[in-house]
Structure 1
Amino acid sequence: MHRSQFQFPQRQRGAVLYVALIFLILLALLGITGMQVASLQERMASNYRSTNEAFQRAEGIVRQVEVEVDQTNRFVPRPGERDEERPCDDGAPVRGSAWASARAADTDPDTAIVAARMNKCTEGGGLGEGVRPQNEMSDTIWQVSSFATDRAESPTSDAAVETVFRP
């Protein structure tokens, strides 16, 4: 049996080298893109966590004030907290998002609370028709607003919570 010997070309052109380099560049670009996506997701998760912490702090403050109002039927701010209670006849009451924006612009925006008796602001306690439901026997209505940041030192997020509460 006679074998023919395969003849290699005298000059190789290096196409395999070029293909390998192109694949290497594509893999490097894919790796860089993956790192950027992971970094972006980490920042988004951190922002979500900060926002959630600020909301939980604000909601916790509201719940504490609601418990206090339910037990004593009045609001007394704790030491270090700001009480911004205003009477109903205040010509320029600041409530809602305008109030929260003003708190965010403070030099010390850690927490703020507003608790106002709304029954002094509204006439009558109900419709006066029929019998009132058992859970609405109180004519006292409170509006409780709170503002909090995610942390006291160098905050990155803030939240405001406002509830209408009937003890």
Structure 2
Amino acid sequence: MHRQPSFPRQQRGAVLYVALIFLILLSLLGIVGMQVASLQERMASNYRATNMAFQRAEGLARLQEVQLNTGTRFVPRAGERDEERRCDDPSPVRGSAWAEARSNDDDPDTAIVVSRLNECTPGFSIAQGSRPVNEKPVIWQISSFSTDVAAAPTSDAAVETVFMP
């Protein structure tokens, strides 16, 4: 005897609904994962740009220290906004205010400002150890500013150091 398969008369399609709900959930998880990956890539790019700007500013300061250590005088780079200021300058170079002014320039690539700090402390000894009476120590303050790239910068950094050759 041959039997015909029996089908329920009213199928509700519950499996189809469950499969569609799982498909929607997986799609939402995929979209959220792509957004997180995109955000992490932007954060890594910003970190790289900030680090590049800091490394360039640090390099400028160290090159200036080498120059001052060998030549004992400041020589501005040709075509750049480098300057030497007295430490009693009425508009002194100090940290974040100077860096903000540099970043607001039309072309904010790099800048160096150098000051002789020992000229502002007459009669007081800043030098470590003892020196001959006729030898006066020279103490420099070097402020350097740089962006991550010269054209269309996205990040900038300033480094300030005190240096005694």
Assess same fold via TM > 0.5: yes
Residue 133 of structure 1, CA deviation: 7.0
What residue in structure 1 maps to residue 91 of structure 2? 92
Q: Which amino acid counterpart does residue 164 of structure 2 have in structure 1?
A: R
Task: Decide whether aligned partners of structure 1 residues 25 and 75 sit closer, same or farther in structure 2, where only a CA change above 3 A counts.
Answer: same
Q: Which runs of structure 2 are paired with 1:97-108 in the superposition (5 Å)?
A: 97-108=96-107
Cα RMSD, aligned residues only: 2.2
Q: Which runs of structure 2 are paired with 1:63-78 in the superposition (5 Å)?
A: 63-78=62-77
Residue 9 of structure 1, CA deviation: 1.3
Residues of 2 paired with 1:166 and 1:53: CA distance? Answer: 27
Q: Which runs of 5+ in 1 are unaligned?
A: none
After TM superposition, the score normalised by the length of structure 2 is 0.89
Tell me which stretches of 4 or more aligned residues in structure 1 moved more than 3 Å. 4-8
Contact 2:118 2:126 in 1 (8 A): no
Residue 5 of structure 1, CA deviation: 8.7
Q: Which amino acid counterpart does residue 109 of structure 1 have in structure 2?
A: P
What residue in structure 2 maps to residue 54 of structure 1? 53
Q: How many residues align?
A: 159
Contact 2:113 2:142 in 1 (8 A): yes
What residue in structure 2 maps to residue 157 of structure 1? 155
Task: Decide whether aligned partners of structure 1 residues 23 and 133 sit closer, same or farther in structure 2, where only a CA change above 3 A counts.
Answer: farther
Task: Decide whether aligned partners of structure 1 residues 24 and 138 sit closer, same or farther in structure 2, where only a CA change above 3 A counts.
Answer: farther
What residue in structure 1 maps to residue 120 of structure 2? 121
Percent identical among aligned pairs is 69
Task: Decide whether aligned partners of structure 1 residues 68 and 150 sit closer, same or farther in structure 2, where only a CA change above 3 A counts.
Answer: same
What residue in structure 2 maps to residue 40 of structure 1? 39
Residue 8 of structure 1, CA deviation: 3.4
What residue in structure 2 maps to residue 29 of structure 1? 28
Task: Decide whether aligned partners of structure 1 residues 64 and 81 sit closer, same or farther in structure 2, where only a CA change above 3 A counts.
Answer: same
Q: Which amino acid counterpart does residue 97 of structure 1 have in structure 2?
A: S
After TM superposition, the score normalised by the length of structure 1 is 0.88
Q: Which amino acid counterpart does residue 129 of structure 2 have in structure 1?
A: R
What residue in structure 2 maps to residue 12 of structure 1? 11
Residues of 2 paired with 1:88 and 1:25: CA distance? Answer: 67
Residues of 2 paired with 1:79 and 1:152: CA distance? Answer: 16
2:129 aligned residue (132, 146, 160) = 132
Residue 10 of structure 1, CA deviation: 1.3
What SS class does the counterpart of residue 145 from structure 2 fall into? strand
Residue 6 of structure 1, CA deviation: 7.4
1:102-151 per-residue CA deviation (whole Å, 9 max, x = no partner) reads: 00000010000011111111232238xxx8179xx972110000000000
Residues of 2 paired with 1:38 and 1:122: CA distance? Answer: 55
Residues of 2 paired with 1:133 and 1:23: CA distance? Answer: 79
What residue in structure 2 maps to residue 141 of structure 1? 139
